[in-house]
Structure 1
Amino acid sequence: GFETASVVKVGILAALLLRAGDAGRGLTVAERAHAAAMVVRSDNDSASALWRAIGGARGLDAANERFGLTGTAGGEGTLWGLTRTTAVDQVALLRQLFVADGSELSADARAYVTGLMGRIADGQRWGVSAAADGSAWALKNGWLRRSTTGLWVVNSVGRVSSGGHGRLVAVMSRGSATLAEGIALVERAARAVVSVLAAEGDGIGRAERDQKSS
């Protein structure tokens, strides 16, 4: 699996909404403030607050089981960014958010998350959006420089419109020497995946890239 970095923030919010739905309640004012900051600006303090609210890795893993994710494991302790996942699982989560059929989440919950993913802050609008023709995209990116290697984990997940079709795309990468190199890699992969989908008439794109440093 790949470290999620901040793409796990979508999973944290999905888990929070699932718990709230089970309890028959909406999100509190504080939860909504944290959720917006966490997704739109990728605010880490807000992510940590909601990670605690869902019960950490145990809460994330329980939600992911219901969402049909099989290769994702929450990060230890407070380290939500070291959650490990696969592109296949990230697409499964995107389906829960963007496809009503078979989703564990209510229409309101899905609209809330996808709406935040469509309002990402300037400077974070890269990644799978490179594969969109026009401005119709909803995404969440993650980027993390591993202290052990000095190399970057760069990930991007979301929905893009291309050729009149909505496509769910997840790209996970690690091993880039710089963040800029990682972003370029992820955007190349996203464009390649969407062009293949267009040729095959499919709507689901997954890519995983390991940079081999020379």
Structure 2
Amino acid sequence: MPSPGARRRARPSGRRPLVHVALAALVLVGGTAAGTVFMRARALEGGSLAVSSAASSSVSPSASASTAPGADAVAEEASVEPVAAPEVDHDELLAAALADVPVEDGAAVSVAVLDLASGDSAGYGDARFDTASIVKTDILAALLLQAQDAGRRLTAQEKAYAATMIRDSDNVSATALWKAIGQADGLDAANARFGLTDTEGGDGLYWGLTQTTAADQLALLRQVFGDDDTSELSAASRAYVQELMGRIAEGQDWGVSAASGATSGSGFALKNGWLPRTATGLWDINSVGRVTVDGREYLVAVVSDGNTTKAKGIALVEAAARAAVSVFGATAGATTTS
């Protein structure tokens, strides 16, 4: 496997100074004070100013003739239109949030997250990682897509395999369904339709060595948790995968679920993957799924490798998932008005 790129640090973003200006003008017509015009200037980011005044900067002769000398004509302040919120760079915010997540020397992590309510997403890293058992969601999605194409339902045996493969992460069941879909060729064909562009099925029966990116795993999650307009899977197929991912066996419900703070599947639906490397003794730790935080739903994919222990890999994945969701928690529903 090509070594993932080194983890990068986000560049701190600078703050633009705000300039507050107040302008007052005394307009004289024919040597007589016709009125005092107050204009208010409001500072915008970048030093640009928005000036508002209902009164004209000049007074017409008819207006000055009808106004007794010395009388004050106070300009009526016009309403100010709301200023659009500045564009948010969620990738930069995610990089900054991940800068506070400790990563072991030699380890690497990549993250992708989508706010389902707004449609905004963020990504960190584009290296490819071994899937380990998170590919089991992909295997099931490919099986369901093939069944849809054939106009059939899953058999009782296929359902039994699917249930233990997702809920218990059973490898024997995964191998059986891997063969059923045509192994790597079947997976790759389904992924081409799912929009996964950087995922390649593992050789032979090594489905756990399928290579993927966090961005591709987010694309797969959109197939599972999307709708008829965004997914190749039918509503029934999506509901089936979601139901299985929402009932993960006790002891395997770590990972992206940490971002939800929930202790049961009501707050998350996920699939995890973990793989000790025999050559190095290091761990691949991955987690993908949907989490609900303060009533908002997010799709989160975290992949990592080079962890010295399973526990440290899990801690990294969970911290990265919390950082990913925090990017949108800080900006959700934010508007700028004045």
Q: TM-score range by the shorter chain?
A: over 0.9
Per the alignment, residue 63 of structure 1 pairs with 190
Deviations 1:89-112 (A, max 9, x none): 000000001010310000000000
Q: 2:294 aligns with which of 142, 163, 174?
A: 163
**1:18 is matched by which residue type in structure 2?**
L
User: Shift of residue 48 of structure 1?
Assistant: 0.1
Q: Would you say 1:19 and 2:179 are equivalent positions?
A: no
- Does residue 315 of structure 2 align to residue 184 of structure 1? yes
Instruction: Give the match for residue 244 of structure 2.
Output: 116
Q: CA deviation at 1:163?
A: 1.7
Shift of 1:200: 3.4
**2:246 and 2:239 mapped to 1: Cα distance?**
10
Q: In structure 1, how many angstroms separate the alpha carbons of the residues matched to 2:330 and 2:205?
A: 43
Question: In the aligned structure 2, how far is the partner of 1:30 from the partner of 1:11?
Answer: 18
1:96 aligns with 2:223: yes
Between Structure 1 and Structure 2, whose CA radius of gyration is higher?
2
What amino acid is aligned across from residue 117 of structure 1 in structure 2?
Answer: M
Report the Cα offset of residue 125 of structure 1: 0.6
Q: Which protein is richer in helix relative to its size?
A: 1
The CA deviation string for residues 136-195 of structure 1, in whole angstroms up to 9 with x for no partner, is 100000000011211000000000001211100000000110000000000000001111
User: What residue number does 1:152 align with?
Assistant: 283
Rounded to whole Å, the distance in 2 between the matches of 1:58 and 1:99 is: 25
Equivalent pairs, count: 202
Q: Aligned equivalents of 1:26 and 1:116: distance in 2? A: 16
Structure 1 counterpart SS, 2:330? helix
SS of the counterpart of 2:285?
A: strand
Q: CA deviation at 1:47?
A: 0.1
CA distance in 2, matches of 1:63, 1:200: 35
Compute the displacement of 1:23 (Å): 0.3
Cα distance in structure 1, aligned partners of 2:218 and 2:331:
18
TM-superposed CA distance for 1:115, in Å, is 0.4
Residue in 1 that maps onto 2:155 = 28
Secondary structure of the 2:253 match is: coil
In the TM superposition, residue 199 of structure 1 has moved relative to its aligned partner by 2.0
Pair 1:129-2:279 in alignment: no
Displacement after TM superposition at 1:197 (Å): 2.0
Given that residues 71 and 86 in structure 1 are in contact (C-alpha distance below 8 angstroms), is that contact kept between their aligned partners in structure 2?
yes
Q: Percent identity?
A: 66
Question: How far, CA to CA, are the matches of 1:92 and 1:181 in structure 2?
Answer: 27
Checking the alignment, whether the CA contact within 8 Å between 1:133 and 1:163 is kept in structure 2 is no
Whether the 8 Å CA contact 1:7–1:142 is kept in 2: the answer is yes
Offset from partner CA, 1:55-75 (integer Å, 9 cap, x none): 000000000000000010000
Q: CA deviation at 1:198?
A: 1.6
TM score, norm. by length of structure 1: 0.93
Task: Give the corresponding residue for 1:206.
Answer: none
Q: Deviations over 1:7-57 (max 9, x none)?
A: 000000000000000000010000000000000000000000000000000
2:161 match: secondary structure: helix
Q: Extract unaligned runs of 5+ from structure 2.
A: 1-127, 334-338
Structure 2 SS opposite 1:10 = helix
Gaps of 5+ in 1: 203-214
